[in-house]
A and B are shown apart, each in its own frame.
Chain A
């Protein structure tokens, strides 16, 4: 498996938390589908985040990578690109046996999540 390029530049406050145009295109302009997808993402994310936190605590790298991989799919599909990038870093850290790095990525992910919640009110 080839390693995808990693975005080494963390998101800034100016970066959009959700790329709405991208999501709109993906949903073929279906606003109802967009809303449902975002609501589902916001509803599911805290639980997934907690599960990643627990996996980091017990040092389960496989579990961290699996959860991060699935969360990355959700985030990239709804256009939450900054969160998706953090999840990609977290997955790579777990797959690379870098637990300390994974813990750092987890904190950065929590930060991005807070930024998203703040932005959408």
Chain B
């Protein structure tokens, strides 16, 4: 991540630059507020560490300029100061500073305050990336409506139930559940790479078309993997990639794209599989009507240990009432829950 250091004292700037470089940041140095403002518009610095008192333009004025003008994305500002007293704190915050570090700075303190800044700016990037990609996925998904919203709720229920499971309790914490909730709408992002004549075909797919459709897991997985390799610290991309790549794997190893089995399938993929299939079964599609809950449940239970992880099916049964409530609350308009003869298809076909 690029960081801008603004300090009119070249020795302080040199030490700051050295320390921040040691901490893994790419550092741009400015020798006063005006220089900082110019450089900020030329580079992609998401965090600014600025001295308070500088000639030409001080740190407060720099903050005000950053906040009053659009510089593309949120810039986190840490002010360096030897000033004390709450009125100075108020003045700094009012100008737009996010945090303060006392001069002379303590490197351990600076390090943790930089982490806070990184967390804030990465949250903005994360939410923007997920929102954009989810919208892109939605635009290519024939199963629109509230599919993505329902699935993320099902995922949350399954995660919460599994967090009390003796085998998965240590693996699933609130962060894991939140990350799955955020990234589950990206599970079918790879469908953007599937041709219209296959993706939008109203009837049953041929074998070749099915094979083509199956590639959406690889396309989505590889796309998110490329993003993850470029930004290894973005942990949400790892969860998103694993979900996209593995949500059609089967517990017995007969799924796709890689035929992974059991716990070789990432837990997020095993959770997503149950949520996605349940939603596919209980909602109307162009080629079938919606199935009532009890029938969908029977199909899920029949797939326990073959298609689905038994622990996730346990979690589904424990959270069954919540599934029903979510389904009813977020039902698409015109959705029929009455089954029609011959409307049942295999779950893999239903979810493509």
CB within 8 Å of B: which residues of A? 1-2, 4, 25-28, 30, 33, 36-37, 40-41, 44, 66, 69-71, 73-74, 76-79, 84
Contact flag A1-B104 (CB < 8 Å), given A37-B11, A73-B12: no
A-contacting residues, B65-95, CB 8 Å = 82-85, 87-88
Across the interface, do A69 and B53 meet the contact criterion of CB distance under 8 Å?
A: yes
Q: Is B107 an interface residue (CB 8 A)?
A: yes
On chain B, the residues within 8 Å of A27 by CB distance are: 15, 18-19, 107
Across the interface, do A37 and B83 meet the contact criterion of CB distance under 8 Å?
A: no
Taken together as a complex, chains A and B put the C-alpha atoms of A44 and B13 apart, in Å, by 14
- The interface size bin for chain B is 20 to 34
Q: Is B105 an interface residue (CB 8 A)?
A: yes
Across the interface, do B15 and A78 meet the contact criterion of CB distance under 8 Å?
A: yes
On chain B, the residues within 8 Å of A76 by CB distance are: 103-104
Partner of B15, one of A4, A26, A44: A26
Q: Which residue of B lies closest to A66 (CB)?
A: B55
On chain B, the residues within 8 Å of A25 by CB distance are: 106-108
Which 6 interchain pairs have the tightest Cβ spacing?
A2-B85, A33-B18, A74-B11, A76-B104, A73-B9, A73-B12
Q: Which residue of B lies closest to A26 (CB)?
A: B107
A1-B85, A40-B11 are known; give 13 further A-B pairs, CB within 8 A. Answer: A4-B84, A25-B106, A26-B15, A28-B19, A33-B14, A33-B18, A33-B19, A66-B55, A73-B7, A73-B11, A73-B103, A73-B104, A74-B11
Across the interface, do A44 and B104 meet the contact criterion of CB distance under 8 Å?
A: no
Q: Is B10 an interface residue (CB 8 A)?
A: yes
Taken together as a complex, chains A and B put the C-alpha atoms of A79 and B106 apart, in Å, by 12
Indicate with 1 or 0, residue by residue over B243-265, a CB within 8 angstroms of chain A CB atoms. 00000000000000000000000
Q: Is B188 an interface residue (CB 8 A)?
A: no
Taken together as a complex, chains A and B put the C-alpha atoms of A26 and B83 apart, in Å, by 20
Across the interface, do B83 and A44 meet the contact criterion of CB distance under 8 Å?
A: no
Least CB distance from A70 to B in Å reads 5
Taken together as a complex, chains A and B put the C-alpha atoms of A69 and B106 apart, in Å, by 19
Across the interface, do A77 and B19 meet the contact criterion of CB distance under 8 Å?
A: no
Contact flag A74-B88 (CB < 8 Å), given A25-B107, A66-B55: no
Taken together as a complex, chains A and B put the C-alpha atoms of A41 and B87 apart, in Å, by 33
Q: Is B51 an interface residue (CB 8 A)?
A: yes
Taken together as a complex, chains A and B put the C-alpha atoms of A88 and B7 apart, in Å, by 18
Least CB distance from B97 to A in Å reads 16
On chain A, the residues within 8 Å of B233 by CB distance are: none
Number of residue pairs spanning A and B whose beta carbons lie under 8 angstroms apart: 76
Across the interface, do B18 and A30 meet the contact criterion of CB distance under 8 Å?
A: yes
Taken together as a complex, chains A and B put the C-alpha atoms of A36 and B13 apart, in Å, by 12
Across the interface, do A33 and B15 meet the contact criterion of CB distance under 8 Å?
A: yes
Across the interface, do B9 and A74 meet the contact criterion of CB distance under 8 Å?
A: yes
Across the interface, do B88 and A2 meet the contact criterion of CB distance under 8 Å?
A: yes
On chain A, the residues within 8 Å of B104 by CB distance are: 26, 73, 76-77, 79, 84
Contact flag A78-B11 (CB < 8 Å), given A26-B19, A26-B107, A27-B18: yes
Least CB distance from A91 to B in Å reads 10
Q: Is B8 an interface residue (CB 8 A)?
A: yes
**Which of B11, B12, B19, B88 is most buried by chain A, counting CB atoms within 10 A of its CB?**
B11
Taken together as a complex, chains A and B put the C-alpha atoms of A66 and B55 apart, in Å, by 8
Contact flag A26-B14 (CB < 8 Å), given A2-B85, A70-B8: no
- For this complex, 6 residue pairs linking A to B, each with C-beta atoms less than 8 Å apart, are A2-B87, A26-B15, A26-B105, A27-B107, A33-B15, A44-B11
Partner of A1, one of B7, B14, B88, B107: B88
Q: Is B170 an interface residue (CB 8 A)?
A: no
On chain A, the residues within 8 Å of B82 by CB distance are: 4
On chain A, the residues within 8 Å of B42 by CB distance are: none
Taken together as a complex, chains A and B put the C-alpha atoms of A48 and B113 apart, in Å, by 32
Least CB distance from B323 to A in Å reads 52
On chain B, the residues within 8 Å of A33 by CB distance are: 14-15, 18-19, 22
Taken together as a complex, chains A and B put the C-alpha atoms of A26 and B15 apart, in Å, by 8
On chain A, the residues within 8 Å of B108 by CB distance are: 25
Q: Which residue of A lies closest to B55 (CB)?
A: A66
Across the interface, do A28 and B107 meet the contact criterion of CB distance under 8 Å?
A: yes
Least CB distance from B36 to A in Å reads 16
Partner of A40, one of B14, B84, B105: B14
Taken together as a complex, chains A and B put the C-alpha atoms of A42 and B327 apart, in Å, by 72
Q: Which residue of B lies closest to A43 (CB)?
A: B11
